[in-house]
Amino acid sequence: MDTHFRSCLRDPCRCDIKRYWLILAIASVIILIEILGAIVSNSLALLSDAVHVLTDAGAISVAIIAEHIGNKKPGRRNFARKLGAFVNAILILGIVVFLVLEAIERIESPRQVIPLPLIIVAIIGAVGNYWQAQILESSESEHEGHDALHLHILSDLWQSCAVILGAFLILIFNQPIIDSIISLVIAAAMTVWSLRLLYKIFTKKEINPA
């Protein structure tokens, strides 16, 4: 299967940059929908998903910049990608801190969550994440920066699935604390994914930025 766009010049190939712009547009739509959904449903889990998608948007922007640097200065391509992957991992760890603190506060003082809008919006988010993942998987790239983006999107997809599950459980048992517990589980998974990415970055041969 041809992994290039029809307009690709092949040298330099800008197909990954086009992919990144496309998934950035999808992420922007998901952010707006999930923030509105979080306000309506009063769900921390959905808000955490929206904030995670916001970090996705930042990570995608970093990847776009890294690819532009690589196209202009091929000798720095690997360094730029590795730096982008590092920034992406740190972004995820940063948001984990916020999620844990907010979840603990809500466990101590539970707030009512409205499950129906939560389910609808989370499903929309999951569909958007799946679409993004398919776009990234259409590329043959295997560098750290691309892997980091794929990590962001897949973690967001699983997070959306967890939010959907939590919403159904809240609907059945009427226990809003489930929303906070789901948020903590998501935070733990994000931490593991980020640490694995950092391990991959630092255990590979050092790349000279010059």
Q: Please state the domain extents for the chain.
A: 15-203
Q: What is the CA radius of gyration of the chain?
A: 18
The whole-number pLDDT of residue 209 equals: 35
Instruction: Using a pLDDT cut of 70, give the percent of the chain over it.
Output: 85
Q: Is residue 144 within 8 Å of 82, Cβ to Cβ? A: yes
- pLDDT higher at 54 or 122: 122
Quote the crossing angle between the two packed helices 44-72 and 115-137, to the nearest 10°: 20
The whole-number pLDDT of residue 13 equals: 57
For domain 15-203, the CATH superfamily is: Cation efflux protein transmembrane domain (1.20.1510.10)
Contacts of 67 (CB under 8 A, 6+ apart): 14, 16, 17, 20, 80, 81, 145
| The model's pTM | 0.79
Does 32 score more than 80 pLDDT? yes
Mind listing the pLDDT tens digit for each residue in 84-128? 778 878 888 888 898 899 899 999 998 899 999 999 999 999 999
The whole-number pLDDT of residue 143 equals: 62
